[in-house]
Amino acid sequence: MKFFLIIWLGLYTFLAKTGELQRESSGFSETEEFKFENNTVINYKIKTIWKDNLGNYGLSNCLGLIFTDFNKEIIDYKMYCKYLDQDNHEYTHKYILETAVSWEVGKNNIISGAGKWKKHIGVTCTYAIDYLKTALFLLEKCNLENEWIIIF
């Protein structure tokens, strides 16, 4: 019985329910744009460093295209970010526009992944982003309901 209790407690300390992935990123954005008639097309690039609450960290590279009207309301928005973690595993997010006014709050989906990220394909996350000139600060939360991780 003692042996069983020791094994059970050992497993309990190494397994934890994740519940939520929280990632903080910061980096710099770069844009190119041109106007035609009353519209603007913006080519948007971002490079960040990031870390999450599960002990992962790495780099990301994002590319997007934003199309706005004369009131600067967003007509079309496509943004994809590729993340690379400390174990050299990659995963990709597709960002989804939540409002027609701003791209600073929204949702994204993990659309591809390798290694430990493969099991998260299809997970939906929410994000909020703040800017100071070309610098950006991003907070993302992903619901990983019913997933377990090993803690060392």
CATH number of residue 28's parent domain: 2.40.160.20
Q: What is the pLDDT of residue 103?
A: 57
Q: Given this model, what pLDDT does residue 114 score? A: 97
Contact call for residues 98 and 106 (beta carbons, < 8 A)? yes
Containing 2, the helix (H) or strand (E) segment is helix 2-14
Using the predicted structure, report yes or no on whether residue 38 has a pLDDT greater than 70. yes
Residues 86, 80: Cα–Cα separation, whole Å:
20
For residue 126, what is the enclosing H or E element?
Answer: strand 124-132
| One-letter identity of residue 147 | E
Q: Give the closest residue to 130 by CA, choosing from 21, 24, 22.
A: 24
pLDDT, greater one: 141 or 7:
141
pLDDT in tens, 112-135: 999 999 999 999 999 999 999 999
Q: Is residue 6 domain-resident?
A: no
Instruction: Please report whether residue 46 resides in a domain.
Output: yes
- The residues near 114 (Cβ < 8 Å, ≥ 6 apart) are 89, 90, 91
DSSP 47-90: EEEEEETTS-EEEEEEEEEEEE-TT--EEEEEEEEEEEETTS-E
The pLDDT of residue 7 is 43
Q: Which structural domain range is residue 132 located in?
A: 17-144
Q: How many domains is the chain partitioned into structurally?
A: 1
76 has pLDDT over 60: yes
* pTM, to two decimals: 0.79
